[in-house]
Homo-oligomer: A and B are copies of this chain.
């Protein structure tokens, strides 16, 4: 049993995570929120009180923290007696927050891969460049570190794991499909920090095909999918974190990630990118000012948090898995659909933040209860997916499955030929 949660970051995902921790504070204990800007942490706490999200009276506290500073982070972990750290701050922070956890014994979890601000789309597998180098250190310190426990990466990894264990003898391909059919009503906006968002699309797009890495260009490969809820949806092959662990852990020859983009989004992105306005390298103006163009683009775009009140429509994110069972071709789609307006009603966020924040808290609760408190580092597909999917079904992120038997809510213990165990280590 672990208690007391320190949330690092105060953006959209942190907002959702804090609300969900508050809704489960009998189990999780004290909730602390830390970021560089104290006022943003306080605003989240105010919102929790406004929505009445606290399950029972309890501690809810804001802290100013530069989480690049390992010593300051260790001090805060100890001062708050936090045994679980949910890192949903900038992806530049992962390695320093993880170091603080290893040195204090707190469990660590995050929702996105570590990034170096000076590098874009490094060599695959990305986890090998940073996180996995600390695997032995976690094991030595008996520290639990769950990597990529948002929706994608995170839930989609669990979906893949559950499908492999339950429905297939052999899996040929996993296509992760991420559709946002929502409408924020603005000319153009990104759903999270534009600087981080655009970095996903400005370099090599890696996919895992025929058991090896394949380098693609952004918007090079298009695929339309007839999805539940959102209907026929256009996606493009995109580079994404989860490929970099699932390719190494699942033994599946083809794993691809597809994200929906409107023609309008692609057009705006292409114009900005072609002109060099998405560059992280400084340019010099006629007046002699050195400035990073991407920072100026960020300054003129809407604050992603400001989109939530007017956001309408739904997301649909899931795994389409193809393979064989008993010699027969088999295909299942495991997915979730989330409604932007319902998310805003519940916690004051849009569905993109919601789908990333809820799984992080579901994972924290499994660490608190012990079933995911494994005392080492793991990606989500290495952990038991059953309690994770069950928790989320209760927390507002309901999983559905579409297969030869129709479309239904996925209740893992009813579906499963799979016997839940304290921990499964996959070894295909």
Contact = CB atoms under 8 A, between A and B. Distances in A.
A296 B284 CA distance: 8
B275 A285 contact: no
B291 A296 contact: yes
A295 interface: yes
Interface stretch (A158-166, A223-231, A297-305): A297-305
Given A271-B272, A289-B291, A291-B289, A277 B300 contact: yes
Contact of A277 (B277, B279, B289, B295): B277
A421 interface: no
A188 B296 contact: no
Given A274-B188, A275-B268, A296 B293 contact: yes
Contacts of A287: 295
Interface in A247-303: 267-268, 271-272, 274-277, 279, 283-287, 289, 291, 293, 295-301
A428 interface: no
A271 B276 contact: no
Contacts of A279: 300
> What is the copy number of this chain in the assembly?
2
Nearest to A274: B187
Nearest to A301: B275
B296 A296 contact: yes
Contacts of A277: 277, 296-297, 300
Contacts of A289: 289, 291, 295
Interface in A316-349: none
Contacts of A295: 285-287, 289
Contacts of A283: 296, 299-300
B275 A187 contact: yes
Contact of A299 (B188, B267, B284): B284
* 7 interchain residue pairs of minimum CB distance: A276-B300, A271-B271, A283-B299, A285-B295, A285-B299, A296-B296, A187-B274
21 contacts: A187-B274, A188-B274, A188-B275, A267-B271, A275-B297, A276-B300, A277-B296, A279-B300, A283-B296, A283-B300, A284-B299, A285-B291, A285-B295, A285-B296, A286-B295, A287-B295, A289-B289, A289-B295, A291-B296, A291-B299, A296-B296
